């Protein structure tokens, strides 16, 4: 807070009750005032010598592999770039200093991010920097993995009037689509990943979504329980369990659910990206929904696993599938194939390719 913002009064008004409640929960009334007074004063100072509608600091996301994926806490550092909000009318397809900036070509909106386990946490930064969704979000805002921070959720709610949060009021947890399907229908976006690669990535990330108390004995045992996670996230209604996807800790998907998931991709989603084509997916998203390109949209904010190597030009990590001994995740394979087809259809529809995306990269 020490660097300030011109919206200090608004932030103070909306968050002072929360700060005071947090202080009172842990200390005496007198100590509460002592603790919270610096917050109040520093927030008021946000209005001093600050450019209108912007932050005078660079917001840097704090990556923490072992904490829940929900919302972010931010550290503030001196910035060397302007922080004007993303005005759609000001973009006009011009190239700015941080990469390409595009006008929105799609008639649909991007309002809800279905965050499937191990399918591109980094995509959050591309999603949030969408003018129609978050018109007041500072250009250098960076979302990353961190604990549940009510202050940051309030900031997103103020800056992103079109954003649909999870059923629990958070941004970024692994809630299944059904929990917010009515609100998000036609405006959900997601990234899909090769079925077996996603399973192995989950295995490497401390057996992510493993329902048992004891760890799995092998990658194969884990795969047999974790298969169909992407399908389950699309068609079921389970809310996230902290950092875990509740839907992926239940029964395996049925054939009917696989068929429904494939239908849902075309009915409920305005955008489907492919993690194996991460850079191209981000560029396509920008072309469709407008906004600037920035390096923060291409960085990997949540790389997991130590026995892997990172593919060039993508945030996906590639694993050796021989450890699965021929196991195939048929449910997620069917959904992934449908998603890849949709992805390439959109590339053709919007005339997007690596060549046309060079200004964005």
Please report, in tens digits, the pLDDT of each residue of the chain (361 residues total).
333 443 444 445 555 555 555 555 445 555 555 455 544 444 443 333 333 333 223 333 333 333 333 333 232 222 222 333 343 333 333 334 344 578 999 999 999 999 999 998 989 999 999 999 999 998 888 887 663 566 678 889 999 999 999 888 889 889 999 988 889 999 999 999 999 999 999 999 989 999 988 999 999 999 999 999 999 999 999 988 888 998 999 999 999 999 999 999 999 999 999 999 999 999 999 999 999 888 878 865 544 444 444 443 334 678 999 999 999 999 999 999 999 999 999 999 999 999 999 988 8
Say yes or no: 4 and 106 in one domain. Answer: no
Length of the chain: 361
66 assigned to some structural domain: no
Query: Domain residues for 40?
Result: 1-50
* b/e sequence 104-125, b meaning 16+ C-beta within 10 Å: bebeebbbbbbbbbbbbbbbbb
Say yes or no: 294 and 170 in one domain. Answer: yes
56 assigned to some structural domain: no
- Is the full-model pTM beyond 0.75? no
Residue 79 CB coordination number (10 Å): 18
User: Residue 123, CB half-sphere, CA atoms under 13 Å: how many?
Assistant: 35
| Cβ proximity of 199 and 320 under 8 Å | no
Say yes or no: 159 and 285 in one domain. Answer: yes
58 assigned to some structural domain: no
92 assigned to some structural domain: yes
Say yes or no: 8 and 97 in one domain. Answer: no
| Cβ proximity of 39 and 19 under 8 Å | yes
Say yes or no: 119 and 14 in one domain. Answer: no
Say yes or no: 177 and 307 in one domain. Answer: yes
CB proximity list for 352: less than 8 A, separation 6 or greater? 280, 283, 284, 287, 346
80 assigned to some structural domain: no
Say yes or no: 239 and 316 in one domain. Answer: yes
- Tokens 């990535």 belong to 201
Say yes or no: 46 and 89 in one domain. Answer: no
Give the pLDDT score at 115: 94
Say yes or no: 336 and 224 in one domain. Answer: yes
Give the pLDDT score at 89: 37
320 assigned to some structural domain: yes
55 assigned to some structural domain: no
Give the pLDDT score at 170: 85
Say yes or no: 119 and 233 in one domain. Answer: yes
Cα(223)–Cα(216) distance, integer angstroms:
9
Say yes or no: 19 and 117 in one domain. Answer: no
Cα(29)–Cα(317) distance, integer angstroms:
50
Give the pLDDT score at 29: 54
Say yes or no: 342 and 231 in one domain. Answer: yes
33 assigned to some structural domain: yes
CATH code where residue 96 lies: 3.40.50
Structural domain count of the chain: 2
């Amino acid at each position: 807070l020490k660097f300030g913002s011109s919206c200090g009064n608004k932030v103070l008004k909306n968050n002072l009750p929360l700060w005071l409640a947090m202080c009172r929960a842990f200390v005496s009334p007198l100590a509460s005032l002592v603790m919270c007074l610096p917050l109040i004063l520093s927030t008021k100072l946000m209005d001093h010598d600050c450019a209108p509608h912007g932050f005078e600091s660079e917001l840097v996301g704090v990556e923490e592999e072992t904490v829940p994926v929900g919302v972010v806490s931010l550290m503030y550092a001196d910035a060397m770039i302007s922080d004007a909000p993303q005005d759609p009318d000001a973009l006009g397809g011009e190239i700015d200093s941080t990469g390409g900036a595009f006008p929105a070509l799609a008639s649909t909106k991007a309002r809800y991010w279905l965050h499937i386990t191990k399918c591109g946490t980094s995509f959050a930064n591309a999603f949030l920097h969408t003018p129609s969704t978050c018109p007041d979000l500072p250009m250098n805002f960076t979302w990353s993995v961190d604990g549940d921070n009510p202050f940051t959720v309030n900031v997103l709610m103020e800056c992103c009037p079109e954003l649909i949060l999870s059923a629990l009021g958070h941004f970024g947890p692994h809630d299944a689509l059904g929990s917010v399907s009515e609100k998000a229908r036609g405006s959900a976006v997601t990234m899909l990943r090769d079925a077996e690669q996603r399973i192995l990535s989950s295995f490497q990330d401390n057996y992510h979504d493993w329902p048992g108390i004891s760890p799995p004995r092998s990658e194969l045992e884990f795969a047999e329980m974790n298969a169909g996670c992407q399908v389950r996230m699309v068609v079921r209604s389970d809310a996230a369990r902290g950092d875990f996807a509740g839907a992926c800790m239940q029964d395996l998907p049925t054939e009917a659910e696989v068929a429904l998931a494939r239908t849902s991709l075309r009915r409920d989603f305005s955008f489907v990206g492919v993690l194996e084509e991460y850079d191209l997916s981000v560029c396509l998203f920008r072309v469709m929904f407008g906004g600037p390109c920035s390096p923060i949209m291409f960085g990997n904010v949540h790389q997991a696993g130590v026995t892997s190597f990172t593919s060039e030009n993508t945030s996906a990590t590639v694993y050796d599938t021989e450890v699965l001994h021929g196991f195939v995740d048929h449910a997620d394979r069917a959904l992934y194939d449908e998603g890849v087809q949709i992805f390439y259809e959109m590339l053709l529809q919007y005339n997007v390719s690596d060549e046309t995306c060079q200004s964005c990269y």
